Structure 1
Amino acid sequence: MSAGGEHLKDEGTKRQTVLAGGIAGLISRFCIAPLDVVKIRLQLQVHSLSDPASHEAVQGPIYKGTLSTMRAIIRQEGITGLWKGNIPAEMMYVCYGALQFTAYRSTTQALAELPYRLPPSAESFVAGAAAGGMATATTYPLDLLRTRFAAQGPEQIYKSLRASIGEIARHEGVAGFFRGSSAAIIQIVPYMGLFFSAYEGFRPIMANMDHMPFGTGDAAAGICASILAKTGVFPLDLVRKRLQVQGPTRTRYVHRNIPEYKGVFRSIRMILRTQGVRGLYRGLTVSLLKAAPASAVTMWTYERVLRILQDMEVAALT
């Protein structure tokens, strides 16, 4: 991205945007997969870490902190355990990245045609929310499959991606692929709105800093925007994960004592009643550790790939 004031939303053709977004999602996902698995395991852990008495009835591992959880997974499941669910996740991130950036570009262009222009921050919020909502709804079944594979311990519940799709369709129906989707939509709209509006605000500031080499101002802006947005909507992300593992296999994941949750707001009330406010923020630390580099890699890769594609097109025309 140039430092001359051009905006992300005005750059690139539709084809370039789709390709750059897809590549950015693919690379980002592979880099942060281990942190994603750790985050999901911590989000699904419902017993209190501060009360040793609560551990007595627990069937399954007790995770404490990001690094110790990572070591426990490697020890019990091997290094590949940190990439469980990576195939559906890669598929989701590629599709999500392409859809997100395409929708963001199209929405901002449509907003620019309105007789009365919104403030730049409002345009970024609306476009980000619309892009996130559409991309989330479209790719949600892959998100659910990613969570279920990542939640598997040494016991193999689903033998393959194809087998998991067949089993869920057979035992839970089409609705089974959309468990927790309401929490995802409620979460993603403010998240993406906050993220893109914050990103557009931080990016010019970071771009003008002389000590940001190799275009890393885009990455730094992505980190700041991600931390701000992620913290605000984290409880909904946790509820989404709890709802995604409901169904006939609920008691077979690495955490055997996942309670039965029904509905977003009923789940929030249940967590508050049984685990307190802290229960809504399990895994927040690793989530921020994951979200920051994921957003940095995504935005940096998107900007670099988009620039390469534009340069290739210019070279082809000359």
Structure 2
Amino acid sequence: MSGGVSQLKDEGSQRQVAVAGAVAGLVSRFVIAPLDVIKIRLQLQVHSLSDPLSVRNINGPVYKGTLGTLKHILREEGLTGLWKGNIPAEAMYLAYGSIQFSAYTYVSHVLDAIPAPYTPPASANSFLAGAAAGAVATTATYPLDLLRTRFAAQGPDRVYASILASVRHIAAHEGPKGFFRGLGAGVSQIVPYMGLFFTSYEGLKPIAASSALPLPFGTSDAAAGIVASVLAKTAVYPLDTIRKRLQVQGPMRLKYVHRNIPVYAGVMKTLAHIWMHEGRRGLYRGLTVSLLKAAPASAVTMWTYERTMDALLALEEKLEE
């Protein structure tokens, strides 16, 4: 068993892991909220200015690039437009971070308990534990993720008056299944993403820590998190776009800032529709800002998690003394 794997999963109790994960999720969300709104707007856009014939009969804004989208939102909706959906997103990140790290350590210990010679190798342990943690956390927090997307998709005209109003409307007009639109794409995305992320992170962390150019203040954790996140995010990004398109389906579909979002049904049909009408580019809309978002988000998440865990362990040791 490599030292990197055992270090992350063996530090602290389940309660400490949950607290550190929750704090890491909250801090990370606060930092990257504006980039998240820009990414969602680009993902939901069926056309862009650089596409041929794309601006014909378009009802709603046409964004071009990260900076263009940023300027458009600031001009049309003000600074607060960059923080739409932040309340359900903060709640989601709080719960997600806690569940994710708790599930990761739990599954890792379960895999470690498998007797030899069936004990999985370190890389397989990290992949399986990360994938399981991502699936559990995604499913448990998915309604909050859906609300985050719908609020971020609102333009100057509000679709839902409040979070409570949105919950009531979805429950009344779409039923319980309405809160889980696109869950299949979400789980299909997060399983390989978290598996690849934790595998890369556990492998890169000791390398970054023992680098000939040591990084100060524990930033080797952040560096490992950045590289791991970029690799994993790029691999599964089309599924993220599909998830976003499915999340805004329903009776309010034509009221979001992009009023020409097509009707989609199912992961494979959505994939086929985007590929046919928008090409490969359509599946990767917003990838640049997604990577810009993913890098600091993962860096902040892992750095905050490690620092919070250190503080909790130090507090526990002090109390024991």
- TM category (shorter chain) comes to over 0.9
- Alignment length, in residue pairs? 316
Contact (CA 8 Å) 1:88, 1:143: kept in 2 or not?
Answer: yes
- The one-letter amino acid of 2:281's match is R
- Cα distance in 1 for partners of 2:160, 2:180 equals 18
Q: What RMSD in Å do the two structures reach over aligned CA positions?
A: 1.2
Which whole-Å deviations, capped at 9, do the CAs of 1:103-126 have from their partners, x for residues lacking one?
A: 000000111110122110100000
Q: How does 1:225-244 map to 2 (within 5 A)?
A: 225-244=228-247
Aligned to 2:26: 26
- Cα distance in 2 for partners of 1:293, 1:52 equals 34
Q: How does 1:245-284 map to 2 (within 5 A)?
A: 245-284=248-287
**Structure 1 residue 180 displacement after superposition:** 0.4
- Cα distance in 1 for partners of 2:280, 2:69 equals 22
- The one-letter amino acid of 1:285's match is T
- Cα distance in 2 for partners of 1:52, 1:120 equals 49
Aligned to 1:313: 316
Aligned to 1:102: 102
Aligned to 2:44: 44
- Cα distance in 2 for partners of 1:277, 1:152 equals 26
- The one-letter amino acid of 2:284's match is Y
Which secondary structure state, in structure 1, belongs to the residue aligned with residue 53 of structure 2?
Answer: helix
4+ runs deviating over 6 angstroms: none
Quickly say closer, same or farther: Cα 1:67–1:135, change in 2 above 3 A. Answer: same
- Cα distance in 2 for partners of 1:28, 1:256 equals 31
- Cα distance in 1 for partners of 2:5, 2:120 equals 18
Name which of structure 1's ranges 95-104 and 51-60 shifts more when overlaid on structure 2: 51-60
Contact (CA 8 Å) 2:130, 2:197: kept in 1 or not?
Answer: yes
- The one-letter amino acid of 2:22's match is G
Instruction: Name structure 1 gaps, 5 residues minimum.
Output: none
- Please point out which of 205, 221, 230 is paired with 1:203: 205
- Cα distance in 2 for partners of 1:99, 1:4 equals 21
Contact (CA 8 Å) 2:85, 2:148: kept in 1 or not?
Answer: yes
- Please point out which of 298, 302, 309 is paired with 2:301: 298
- Cα distance in 2 for partners of 1:101, 1:5 equals 13
**Structure 1 residue 10 displacement after superposition:** 1.1
Aligned to 2:111: 111
Aligned to 1:128: 130
Instruction: Name structure 2 gaps, 5 residues minimum.
Output: none
- Cα distance in 2 for partners of 1:147, 1:194 equals 24
- The one-letter amino acid of 1:28's match is S
- Cα distance in 2 for partners of 1:26, 1:144 equals 18
Name which of structure 1's ranges 60-69 and 38-47 shifts more when overlaid on structure 2: 60-69
Name which of structure 1's ranges 205-214 and 284-293 shifts more when overlaid on structure 2: 205-214
Q: Normalising by structure 2, what TM-score?
A: 0.96
Aligned to 2:90: 90
Contact (CA 8 Å) 2:245, 2:264: kept in 1 or not?
Answer: yes
- Cα distance in 1 for partners of 2:200, 2:228 equals 5
**Structure 1 residue 48 displacement after superposition:** 3.9
Please tell me whether residue 174 in structure 1 is matched to residue 179 in structure 2. Answer: no
- Cα distance in 1 for partners of 2:119, 2:49 equals 51
**Structure 1 residue 5 displacement after superposition:** 8.5
Q: Normalising by structure 1, what TM-score?
A: 0.97
- Cα distance in 1 for partners of 2:220, 2:137 equals 26
Which whole-Å deviations, capped at 9, do the CAs of 1:48-97 have from their partners, x for residues lacking one?
A: 43246321211111111111211110110010100000000000000000
Quickly say closer, same or farther: Cα 1:6–1:251, change in 2 above 3 A. Answer: same
- Cα distance in 2 for partners of 1:130, 1:283 equals 27
- The one-letter amino acid of 1:23's match is V
- Cα distance in 2 for partners of 1:134, 1:30 equals 23
- Cα distance in 1 for partners of 2:155, 2:91 equals 22
Which secondary structure state, in structure 2, belongs to the residue aligned with residue 7 of structure 1?
Answer: helix
Which secondary structure state, in structure 2, belongs to the residue aligned with residue 185 of structure 1?
Answer: helix
Which secondary structure state, in structure 2, belongs to the residue aligned with residue 50 of structure 1?
Answer: coil
Contact (CA 8 Å) 1:5, 1:204: kept in 2 or not?
Answer: no
